[in-house]
Every structure is written in C-alpha cells, then in structure tokens.
Amino acid sequence: MRLFTVTAFYSFRALFRWLSPMPYLCFRALFPLAQLGFFALIGTYGGGQPLSFYLVGNAIGTATLTAFGVSQAVADERQQGTLSYLLAAPAPRVPIFFGRAALHVADGMINMIAALAIAVMVFGLRVPVDGIVGVVVAMLVATIAICGVGLLLGAVAYIVLDTAVLANFAMFIILLLSGANVPLAELPGVVAAIAQGIPLTRSVAAARLYVGGASFDAGIGLLLGDLALGAFQLARNTSPT
C-alpha cells in the first residue's frame, strides 16, 4: 500500500513541474469551456442533434485529457533512463503502474465536473436531481477506462518516441467514434463496430440516459462494459513481459 501511495503522489506531482498551481487551475477551467463551446456550437448549427447531446458527450469526453498524463508518466521512465531499473526491481508491477494512474482518476473527475458545471451554468443544460448520482458514476467509469488507455499508450511509447502525438491521436479518435459528437447510428457499419470497443462509448450513452431522466439501473450494463474494457487494458499493460 505504501508503494502504491508514494508512486501515485510523486509521479503525479513530478509530471507537471509547476511553480504555482494557478496555470493548472486555469487549464482545468478553460479547456472544458473551449471544448464544450466548440463542439456544442458546431453541433447545434451544423448537426442534427439537440444541444444537450453535445454537452453531455463532451462533458464526459474531457476525460480523454487523462490519457496525456498517464501515458507521459509511464513514457518518462524510458526518457529519463529509469526503465531498466523499474523492470529489474523486485517490487510488484501492479502497485507501481496503478499508482501512476491513481491520481489521474481524481484529476479526470475534476475535468468532467468542471465541464458539467460549465454545461449547466453557461449553456443551460438541465440535469435531474435523480440523475446526478448516475452521471457522477458514469464520469468515474469513464476516467478509469481512459487511464487504461493512457497506460497502454505509455507502453507503446517505449517504441514510439513522441507520447504527445499518440495521446492526441487517441483523444480525437475517441471523441469521434465514442458517440460524444457523432451518433453511433450515423457511423458506417465497420466504424460503428469498432466504436463498440472504444472506451467512453458506453459511459457517454449511460450519462445521456441519466440526464434524460432514466433510472440508475438503466445504465448499469453500459457502465460495466466500459469498466471491463478499461480493466482489460490495465491488465495488458501490467502483465509480465
């Protein structure tokens, strides 16, 4: 447990190399606003879905930022020359790699809560009281699934030099195919099938159900699917090589 806690704290703190928390806080407020404004306005005037479709989709979609931090935390081991020591260490890999993702789960939740608050206060999204718990659970599942993607990208970054390019590519693919901005029914058949294996697809659908007034039970199956997908990606990254 101590190994997990120490790894989580120091890997997250060292990642940003900040001198003050203000740039971090501004980024956490401005990025969700920019993403919501961009996709909501384009979708409203150029798409065929109601405004709430794009607001909910992109509030959950801000979880994709988590992939940047997680993948960079893992890839930094190679760049700083500590990868060989990490792999040779007798310490178990599960707390080491899970520790690198732990605080990013909380960070992803902050992203999505900020985005949802902006969607409600700025764009007028209405979330029923009965649906708040379901939306929060959908956020939690989404950020866990994306942390799995981040660890997978970090593993790929051992071969590919630029982690940021990988994370950007993954982020836009997820935003395009997860149903956050384009309805799954409008995707071509093969692409729609691929979308079912992408994290966030089910979390976005579940969040829309809860915002629409559905009961918590209505989205449990969807959330379990995304959670299983994220767990599979985490297991692949932490399995022995």
**Which string of b and e fits 125-134 if b means at least 16 CB within 10 Å?**
bebeeebeeb
Alpha-carbon span 67 to 50, nearest angstrom: 28
Tens-place pLDDT, residues 3-58? 556 555 555 665 555 556 776 777 777 888 888 989 988 888 887 889 999 999 99
Unique residue bearing structure tokens 């993607």? 149
Q: For position 197, what pLDDT does the model report?
A: 86
Q: For position 220, what pLDDT does the model report?
A: 93
Nearest 5°: the CA angle 221, 180, 218 is 25
Q: For position 109, what pLDDT does the model report?
A: 87
Alpha-carbon span 63 to 142, nearest angstrom: 7
Alpha-carbon span 18 to 6, nearest angstrom: 19
Would you say the C-alpha torsion 218, 219, 221, 224 has a positive or negative sign?
negative
DSSP state of 213: T
- Number of structural domains found in the chain: 1
> Residues in the chain with pLDDT < 50?
241
For 55, the token pair is 């607001």
Q: For position 15, what pLDDT does the model report?
A: 57
Owning domain of residue 125: 2-238
Taking the CB of residue 165, how many other CB atoms lie within 10 A of it?
Answer: 11
Q: Are 111 and 34 in contact (CB under 8 A)?
A: no
**Which string of b and e fits 24-52 if b means at least 16 CB within 10 Å?**
eeeebeeebeebbeebbeebeeebeeebb
Would you say the C-alpha torsion 53, 25, 101, 155 has a positive or negative sign?
positive
DSSP state of 199: T
Coil/strand/helix, residue 204: helix
Q: For position 104, what pLDDT does the model report?
A: 75
